[in-house]
Amino acid sequence: MLKQDVIPMRFSQIKRINSRAVSSYLGQAVWPILGLVIFIGLWNVLAKNVDTSLGQFPGPVAVWEQANVLIEEHQAQSAKAEMFYERQEKRNAQRVLNDPGYEPKIRAFTGAPTFFEQIWTSLYTVTVGFLVASILAVPIGIFCGLSKAAYGAINPLIQLFKPVSPLAWLPLVTMVVSAAYVSDDPMFSKSFITSAVTVSLCCLWPTLINTAVGVSSIDKDLLNVSKVLRLNAMQHVFKIVMPSSIPAIFTGLRLSLGIGWMVLIAAEMLAQNPGLGKFVWDEFQNGSSESLARIMVAVLTIGIIGFVLDRLMLQLQKQVSWDKSATLR
Amino acid sequence: MSTKHHLELTQVGIDFPTPKGPFTALSDVNLRIKKGEFISLIGHSGCGKSTVLNIVAGLYQATTGGVILDGREVDEPGPERAVVFQNHSLLPWLSAYKNVELAVKQTKNGRNKQQIRQWVEHNLELVHMSHAADKLPAELSGGMKQRVGIARALAMEPKVLLMDEPFGALDALTRAHLQDSVMEIHAKLGNTVLMITHDVDEAVLLSDRIVMMTNGPAATVGEILDIALPRPRNRIVLADNSQYNHYRHDVLKFLYEKQRKVGSVDDHRKNSSGSHSLGNKERSKTKSDAA
């Protein structure tokens, strides 16, 4: 009798909790969706009222169409490339058959890069630039946080170079890379190195500053613990300094990555280096009636990628952070 | 040469630099402590109790005089003078076990892997924290954190255990529990203990001797009270003990009649916070001097 009473009650409780969880989840989703719908509606209405020399400003529908066109173009281009390599292979096989001494050469497909190839180039460039900057900035930041002398020495340089737009560096970087990076069989193209270095130059500062501030504001008691335990310099850095400054380091890293991504697009436009920036600039120069819609696709893509990059960093921070109760956003 | 003394403080004084010239926080502090003694330092807040402890710990450098432990001068912090900090100071990213383990690994004493594990477990057992070994400090209550802090200090096998108001941040019931634990551990291990406190009952209950400090500036040892109560001590039995109450009375009289704070509450606050921030400056200064 009693058991029967207990079980249904538990079931009903579970149901209630579940439905509440679902409805709260929906409740959270309602507002972002509403925001998006209002944005698209306004965009649709306003776009119709803006006329340019390249035709009407693209509304959501035109942009959607162009997104599909870009996908189709990419598929067509990859099919072409595949056929090109197939033909080449056949031809090479034929020549080797006729002349056994012939060493087959593989020539790369020379078709224009598609939208998706440009996205890939940009992503790859920003990743490399960001990683190089972080590998430099985190240790230097830790060093500055630990040593007042180092901070005193480096701080003027930080203050001097931090406000400089990396685009101002771009001509210098281009010339130095052209002069210094000379190789018959380059592993990376010069344009890639130029873009990556430019990204690195702007990714350095937020990480460096935040790391230094994080390290210098470690709880004094924890520093005393380190002293009483006689931890050596390496142990001190890895057992005490790094874990306690992880939030600050990640704040810097996320700022850096965001700025790096913005700067990369601009650098690609300015230097005509392959990537999303070049895509935007080429479309602008092209000036067809679809150009604006295609640029709009690129704009939205840049935004989405920037958002995804930040979320990835957040996930990484959640993985690395010891304080699982902290709300990270 | 006095070899019978375990820990000696001789003419210890410390000046902190201020914009108005040096501020003498302590002067002429003399103290001889025997092995296995439990000493409490009591005094009004801001009088320099913690400064004395930090000098013994090696975290501050005395301006005059010095500290000798087993015939060697104390000039830097080290695990043979383990500190239990007031706010536990456990590394928040390590579990209770890992926190103690870090200390054990730093003071290996020739232990192998298995012996390290046993020693960590033994010390957690000693403070009755084995059940929470895998918990992070954030998941523990204040009293439990302080227990782990004590385990960490004990695991270093210190010659002197330094406790800086170890129970100051705890509620009265938890504090009583921890005091009992400390008495139990002291009876078992016979460590030399130097404890800072501002709680008269705590001082009388735990100590062999109570060192009462005068008010600053230039604070020094005012009186030393021997507590000849037999051990083990029981707080309930002692509550009615006339000798115990007599000791309490002596300490209270020293604190509230002989060393009554004359300044207003605001002055007092200014002084104590001022000397604290000065302490930080001094520490960074001595560090750069050493380097």
DSSP line for B15-77:
EE--TTS-EEEEEEEEEEE-TT-EEEEE--TTSSHHHHHHHHHTSS--SEEEEEETTEE--S-
Question: Which residues, including other chains, have CB under 8 Å from residue B29's CB and lie 6 or more apart?
Answer: B9, B11, B12, B13, B52, B65, B219, B220, B221
Residue B81 with chain A: CB contacts under 8 Å = 228
- Work out the average pLDDT over B47-66: 91
Predicted confidence (pLDDT) at residue B291 exceeds the cutoff of 60: no
How confident is the model over A100-131, as pLDDT tens digits? Answer: 888 877 788 887 888 999 999 999 999 999 99
What pLDDT does B261 receive? 65
Contact between chains at A224 and B82 (C-beta distance less than 8 A): no
Predicted confidence (pLDDT) at residue B287 exceeds the cutoff of 80: no
Using pLDDT thresholds of 50, 70 and 90, give the confidence band for residue A277: very high
- For chain B, the first-to-last Cα distance in angstroms comes to 31
Mutate: best of B105, B106, B136, partner A, most A CBs <10 A: B106
Predicted confidence (pLDDT) at residue A254 exceeds the cutoff of 90: yes
Least CA distance to A223: which residue of chain B?
B89
DSSP conformation letters of B107-147: T-TT--HHHHHHHHHHHHHHTT-GGGTT--GGGS-HHHHHH
How confident is the model over B169-195, as pLDDT tens digits? Answer: 888 888 898 999 999 999 988 889 999
Question: Which residues, including other chains, have CB under 8 Å from residue B132's CB and lie 6 or more apart?
Answer: B96, B139, B140, B144, B148
Strand ranges (DSSP E) for chain A? 51-52, 55-56
Predicted confidence (pLDDT) at residue B224 exceeds the cutoff of 80: yes
Determine the 3-state secondary structure of B212 from DSSP: strand
Distances in whole angstroms, Cα of residue A82 to Cα of each of A78, A92, B106: 6, 15, 62
Q: CB-CB: which of B106, B138, B156 is closest to A325?
A: B138
Measured distance CA(B54)–CA(B45) in Å, rounded: 15
How far is CA B149 from its chain centroid?
Answer: 12
Neighbours of A87 (CB within 10 A): 10
Give chain A's length. Answer: 329
Mind telling me how many Å the CA of B233 is from chain A's nearest CA? 31
- Work out the average pLDDT over B221-249: 91
How confident is the model over B249-276, as pLDDT tens digits? Answer: 999 999 888 877 655 444 545 554 444 4
Q: Which residue has the tokens 């500053």?
A: A209
Q: What stretch of H or E contains B226?
A: strand B221-226
Q: What stretch of H or E contains B224?
A: strand B221-226
